[in-house]
Every structure is written in structure tokens, then in C-alpha cells.
Structure 1
Amino acid sequence: MRRTVLEQFPAGGPRGSRPAEEFAEARRGEGMAAEVVMDLEQDVFLVVVPQQAGDRGR
């Protein structure tokens, strides 16, 4: 499955702060299928959505 990254957030945020989850929740409220995944190599959280058929090649 291909995904498009909407935003990335550093993994070392303040305790109790979940900006990636909050951003994803706001996008879900807009009707997007946003989810949060961890990029271990870069130590960041990524907010991603499934890539649409018309987005291929971008």
C-alpha cells in the first residue's frame, strides 16, 4: 500500500503531548483516513493517508 505523508512531528515531544495524534484526529474530522506511523530511522512520527489512484507518479 502506498501512502502520502501529510506532516511529520519529532518523536521527542514534551511528556503528555501528542501533536501527531491531534493532527491526525483533526484530519479524520475532515473525512481523511489519516493515521500515525513511526519512522524509526528518522525518529519522527508521520501522519499519513492512503495514496489515491490519481496521485500516482507525484
Structure 2
Amino acid sequence: MDRTVLERFPAGGPRGHWPAEEYAGACRDEGVPARVVMDLASDAFLVVVEQRAPERPESRASPARG
């Protein structure tokens, strides 16, 4: 699965205020399946949408018949 980052929010926001959750909720209200994840490396909350990676055609060998 691939993730697309819709928005980033710094983790040090004011206490009791959750802008990433509010943004994700607004996205979900519009039908976008957004969720919030924490990016520890950048100390930020990310609002992401997970998407399935396009399927690649598999090369299948014909079964040997004997």
C-alpha cells in the first residue's frame, strides 16, 4: 500500500487542540478515508490516505504437462 500525505501538523500544538484530527475528520466528512499518523522523525502528525499500489501483471509460466 502507498500513502499520500494530505497535510502535516507540528506535534507541539496547544493542549486540547487537535488540528490534525480536525482536518482528517473534515476529509472523512467529504468521503476521503483520511487518518492521522505520527511521523517520529519530523515530530509531526500527518494526515494520510492509504491507497492500493497498482497491481503489476505477474508472469506466470505454464504448468508442465507430462
Which bracket does the TM-score occupy, shorter chain normalised?
0.7 to 0.9
The aligned length equals 54
TM-score (norm 2): 0.76
Bigger helix share: 1
Unaligned runs of 5+ in 1: none
Q: List 4+ stretches of structure 1 deviating above 4 A.
A: none
Identity of aligned residues (%): 69
CA contact (8 A) 2:38 2:44 kept: yes
The structure with the largest alpha-carbon Rg is 2
CA RMSD of aligned residues (A): 1.3
Which residue in the other structure is 1:36 paired with? 36
Amino acid at match of 1:12: G
TM-score (norm 1): 0.86
